[in-house]
Structure 1
Amino acid sequence: MKVFAHFPQMRDRWLRQPVGSLRYRPWLIERGSLTRRLQQHSAVFAVQPLSVASRKPPFPETRLLQSLSRQHTLLRDVMLRCDGSAVVFAHSVLPGRAMRGAWRSLGRLGNHSLGSALFADPRMCRSVLQYKKLSPQHFLYRRAAFHMPGISGPVWARRSVFRLGQSAVLVTELFLPAVLNLNPQSSK
């Protein structure tokens, strides 16, 4: 996997390092497949689809993908669960051109992991990770809270862009408090 570092400047500031993330840090800085890591820490791992819709993405996400705001885009929200507990809310932005060629199946993943599909291709390049402690006012926090009404307080998130040729996919992962019940230092 190659790494690239291009992110346009935007008002929605994300950090280059998860400063102050404390116990979340081992989960946030993982460069490999988060799906694989979560599977190692649970007897039963599941991807729960929450929303898959063709919509116009928020402007900051459009800018990250360097795509036209009117372009067909698939927004996918899923909950990643370990042994029944919701541990990560994942939000993906898949422009229409990203779902052609080698990645043509990305729009039909259902309850399968997007990360597994992306990491399966050795030609894939991933941007540097960016981090942010999301407040309840952030649009992604509100998306997660819609599916988890009991969520409270800020949550740590990370995002990166995956590229394969001209195709680009944005993945943002919000780490829910239950992820701290998993031990990232060991596996089952």
Structure 2
Amino acid sequence: MKRWKRLAPSHADPWRGWLTYRGSLTWRIVSRAEGFRVERIQQRLRHPNEDEYRALGRPTHKRALVREVILHAGGRPVVLAHSIAARRDLFGVWRSLRGLGTRPLAEALFTDPLVRREPLEFVRIDFRHPLWKRACKVLGRELPSLWARRSLFRKRGRPLMVTEVFLPEILELGA
């Protein structure tokens, strides 16, 4: 499995503008397309993916809340968003996650002055990565390799990992 890196793709890469944007991805999509909506795919306690344990600083046997949604713009899926919070934090600093439903996570992250975002990491994923497999399954079609980014958000020192997998249709919204 490829390693996540802090180095973004080159300036010539059409994905760079989306990958390196530090603000709310939801708000950026809304500003570029009509018909934005969040489709919740799952939200349940389960074990994080193998490459997520180290970044979260968690032992491999611990379950966490995993929330997956598809962000749609103009009736088309543009991002698979995958977020993880420790089980104990669902009754503490990240309790707002439990009742999000189809509301964007951005509301909880970018409006709270106590939330701090750590640096972005990037990777190109393909058939070897569980999130690529998940995107193919959810969309019901085979996909090319996909760019993904992730970062940790911290509130009172407690981490929430957000990974965003960019689907090919996002490029139709411009960079």
TM-score normalised per structure 2: 0.92
Partner residue in 2 for 1:19: 9
Q: Could you tell me how far 1:110 is from its partner in structure 2?
A: 0.8
Partner residue in 2 for 1:154: 145
Residues of 2 paired with 1:30 and 1:99: CA distance? 28
Residues of 1 paired with 2:89 and 2:105: CA distance? 13
User: SS at the partner of 2:37?
Assistant: strand
Structure 2 residue 156 is the aligned partner of structure 1 residue 143? no
Cα offsets for 1:85-128 (capped at 9, x unmatched): 00001111111133233431212211011122111111211110
Residues of 2 paired with 1:177 and 1:67: CA distance? 32
Partner residue in 2 for 1:42: 33
Partner residue in 1 for 2:105: 114
User: SS at the partner of 1:67?
Assistant: coil
Q: Could you tell me how far 1:178 is from its partner in structure 2?
A: 0.3
Q: Which consecutive unaligned segments of at least 5 residues does structure 1 have? A: 1-10
Give the partner amino acid of 2:99. Answer: R
Q: Could you tell me how far 1:59 is from its partner in structure 2?
A: 3.1
Give the partner amino acid of 1:148. Answer: L
> Which range moved further: 89-98 or 13-22?
13-22
Structure 2 residue 70 is the aligned partner of structure 1 residue 75? no
Q: Could you tell me how far 1:167 is from its partner in structure 2?
A: 1.7
> Which range moved further: 53-62 or 165-174?
53-62
Kept in 2: contact 1:98–1:169 (CA 8 A)? no
- What fraction of aligned residue pairs are identical, expressed as a percent? 37
Residues of 2 paired with 1:47 and 1:38: CA distance? 12
The number of aligned residues is 174
TM-score normalised per structure 1: 0.86
User: SS at the partner of 2:65?
Assistant: strand
